[in-house]
Amino acid sequence: MSLKQYKEKRHFNKTNEPRPEATKSRTGHAVFVVQKHRARRLHYDFRLEISGVLKSWAIPKGPSVDPSQKRLAVMVEDHPYDYKDFEGVIPQGEYGAGPVMIWDEGTYTTQQDNPAEALENGALRLVLDGKKLKGRFTLVRTKMGGSDRNWLMGKARDDYADDHADILEDHPNSARPARSLEEIEAEG
């Protein structure tokens, strides 16, 4: 897994984002993080630890716990493992400038034996154990817009599904500690 694109897009003398290094979980469990990020527009970045890096998708409308909602998830460059702990402000003039919040975090398993192979095949069946997102989710690559970068993220019907909940509105603040995006920006 390459962190070349990640490195090329950043000036580490200007931003406090983690430097590009491939690492593995220190807990022995594969981690995920969802970062709420207000750059040009508000979106959520869903990141899964696979093969020592965070495979990453930008979800414009954010994840949903309503199984009837499938959300566009655009695959972006791999991020270093340590990015899972990044919460702060990317300076103006830098790639992705704006506040970043750790909206959710936790561990995950896949219902497939090899997550890297499932990713390559374009279909991940995940079980998330986060502070906000729990249960079964899917990520499936589509051919929307003729791009291999477009995926759909959906919630499976299980004990954690809720047809009427708006988890983004119900839980808008950071998972550690509970701060708003505006508070993070003011601290930055």
Q: Taking the domains of the chain in order of start, what are their residue ranges?
A: 4-187
Q: What is the per-residue pLDDT for 59?
A: 98
Those residues with Cβ within 8 angstroms of residue 108's Cβ, 6 or more apart along the chain or in another chain: 30, 31, 32, 48, 126, 127, 128, 129
Per-residue pLDDT of the chain (188 residues; tens, 9 = 90+): 478 887 778 878 778 777 776 565 555 679 999 999 999 999 999 999 998 899 999 999 999 999 999 999 999 999 999 999 999 999 999 999 999 999 999 999 998 888 989 999 999 999 999 999 999 999 999 988 788 899 999 999 999 999 999 999 999 999 988 899 999 999 87
Q: Quick one: how far is CA 37 from the chain centroid?
A: 10
State if pTM tops 0.95.
no
Q: What is the per-residue pLDDT for 140?
A: 97
Nearest to 181 by CA among 48, 84, 41: 41
Rounded CA-CA distance 132/118 in Å is: 24
Q: What is the per-residue pLDDT for 3?
A: 81
Nearest to 127 by CA among 22, 52, 29: 29
Exposure of 65 in the CB half-sphere (CA atoms within 13 A): 19
**What residue has token string 């154990």?**
129
